[in-house]
């Protein structure tokens, strides 16, 4: 699943930036409505009124971008803290596999899909990334600074700290800038295929790790409750207006992970379009 290009300078195989080609999940997000506001800043403020005006513009542009990046990080970290059944070293490994890169009003999140533990670590990292994307999207709508995004899986190469480059980045950007069209998050076919593959996969990693996705790997109830509590705190967005959670326990836990993600994405899109939210499951 991973190809390493030998280093000619040292005459040996060594992991360095720009040398290792492997599979990643990449999410590309762009904060909408920034361009027109930024163009209003044409010079350094001189008067008290100009300072107040510049501060308001910066609050709605730079402040919004930084806040949404922070929201994503908090949703991701909150989910990882709720995974109490995972050993601390495995939680740390999941976090190591997730990288962030911000530029202008966009930010990119990448998850290395290494398979040295039967996809258990990247599966949890991917789930956390998707859940954080849903949370960040909800927060962006509540703050009236909506996101647009694209997420896909594919080949990429780490070219700098936190920066993945390659076909997977191009596809994630194409989904955001082309396929999404309006404020929503679109996932690519290769990511959907990867998630479908994970849904039916059993894990048999040693050291007491669970045998399948739902056997204690993730405390789904705890994660859901944490998400519910966070969403209820968002201004103007009660949970009842976002998702339906009735009948949660009637479904096979093995299928809950990705149906949860699908339901959240569908609900966010429907809310933006003014439609009735889709059921969570």
The whole-number pLDDT of residue 211 equals 38
The 10s digit of each residue's pLDDT in 119-162 is 677 888 888 888 888 888 888 888 787 888 899 999 998 888 77
DSSP 152-209: EEEEEEEEETTEEESHHHHHHHHIIIIIS-SSSEEE-HHHHHHHHHHHT-B---STT-
**pLDDT confidence tier of residue 59, bands split at 50, 70 and 90:** confident
Q: Can you give the C-alpha Rg of the chain in angstroms?
A: 20
The 10s digit of each residue's pLDDT in 218-260 is 333 333 344 444 444 444 333 333 322 223 333 333 333 444 5
Model-level pTM greater than 0.75?
no
The 10s digit of each residue's pLDDT in 68-105 is 778 788 877 777 776 666 677 777 777 777 887 877 77
Q: Distances in Å between the alpha carbon of 248 and those of 58, 126, 216, 260?
A: 42, 22, 18, 10
Which residue ranges make up each domain of the chain?
17-209
Which class is 17-209 in CATH?
alpha beta
Angle among Cα 224, 275, 271 to the nearest 5 degrees reads 45
């Amino acid at each position: 699943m991973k190809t390493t290009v030998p280093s000619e300078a040292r005459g040996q195989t060594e992991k360095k930036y720009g040398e290792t080609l492997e599979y990643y999940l990449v999410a590309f997000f762009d904060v909408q409505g920034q361009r027109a506001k930024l163009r209003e800043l044409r010079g350094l403020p001189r008067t008290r009124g100009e300072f107040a005006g510049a501060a308001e513009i910066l609050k709605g542009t730079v402040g919004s971008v930084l806040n949404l990046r922070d929201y994503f990080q908090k949703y991701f970290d909150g989910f990882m803290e709720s995974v109490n059944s995972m050993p601390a070293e495995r939680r740390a490994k999941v976090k190591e596999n997730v990288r962030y890169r911000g530029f202008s009003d966009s930010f990119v999140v990448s998850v290395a899909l290494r398979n040295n533990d039967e996809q258990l670590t990247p599966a949890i990292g991917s789930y956390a990334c998707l859940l954080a994307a849903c949370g960040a999207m909800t927060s962006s709508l509540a703050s009236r600074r909506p996101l647009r995004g694209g997420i896909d899986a594919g080949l990429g190469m780490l070219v700098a700290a936190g920066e993945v480059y390659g076909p997977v980045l191009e596809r994630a950007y194409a989904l955001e800038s082309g396929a999404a069209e309006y404020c929503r998050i679109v996932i690519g076919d290769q990511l959907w295929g990867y998630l479908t593959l994970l849904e039916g996969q059993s894990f048999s990693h040693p050291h007491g790790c669970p045998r399948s996705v739902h056997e204690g790997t993730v405390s789904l109830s705890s994660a859901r409750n944490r998400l519910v509590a966070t969403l209820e705190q968002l201004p103007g967005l009660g949970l009842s207006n976002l998702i339906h959670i009735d009948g949660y326990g009637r479904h096979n836990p093995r299928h809950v992970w990705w149906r949860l993600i699908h339901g959240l994405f569908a609900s966010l899109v429907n809310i933006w379009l003014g439609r009735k939210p889709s059921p969570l499951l």
